[in-house]
Amino acid sequence: MAISEHAPDTITLRAATVDDAQIILEITRAAFEEFRNRLEPPSGALNETLESLIANTFQPDRGATLAFMNGEPAGAARWEVQPQRAYLYVGRVAVLPAYRRRGIASALMHWVDDHARALGLPAVQFGVRLQAPQNIRFYERLGYYVAGYSGHAGFDHPTFVWMRKDLH
């Protein structure tokens, strides 16, 4: 009986272009679907259109990164340089459900950290819903910390935490 060897999964990352907008939208919708009717307020990710994604992502000091697993699109993250270059904001980190727990989100976040360093920014920061504690724990394992609590407009209590990593 022959023992078959499986090649290890290969994750590749690249900066996205406007031509990638449709696949970024599809990845984001599929990844955020699990939160439909589970978040208060609802995530805007599920209402995003191709036009709004393009208008909000592919601008000066903004962009997106695509992750591929064995050549297939598997994840995406969006970023923007904040005013006064205070930090790199990350949003809509998304991994297709079929590719989760295989290192893609970690690879995307390492790319983001490296990109912020390359831009000379002092930190990476983003919001994580309190209703997704597993995501908070995931980012803490990557070296991010809870930098503060905040609430969405119209709420009198915190609905998310600010996660931050100071870069050295």
User: Does the predicted model carry a pTM greater than 0.85?
Assistant: yes
Q: What is the pLDDT of residue 93?
A: 96
Q: Which fold, 11-166? A: Aminopeptidase (3.40.630)
CA distance 127 to 115: 19
Question: What Å distances lie between residue 147 and 85, 86, 126, 160, CA to CA?
Answer: 18, 14, 10, 11
Neighbouring C-beta atoms of residue 79, cutoff 10 Å: 24
Quick one: pLDDT at residue 5?
64
In whole angstroms, give the CA distance from residue 113 to residue 88: 9
Query: Residues 114-136: what's their mean pLDDT?
Result: 95
pLDDT at 4: 57
The H or E element spanning position 25 is helix 21-32
Q: What does pLDDT average to over the chain?
A: 92
55-83 per-position pLDDT tens digit: 999 999 999 999 999 999 999 999 999 98
Does 168 score more than 80 pLDDT? no
Task: Provide the pLDDT confidence category of residue 89 given band limits of 50, 70 and 90.
Answer: very high
Domain boundaries, the chain: 11-166
Quickly count: other Cβ atoms within 10 Å of residue 95's Cβ: 24
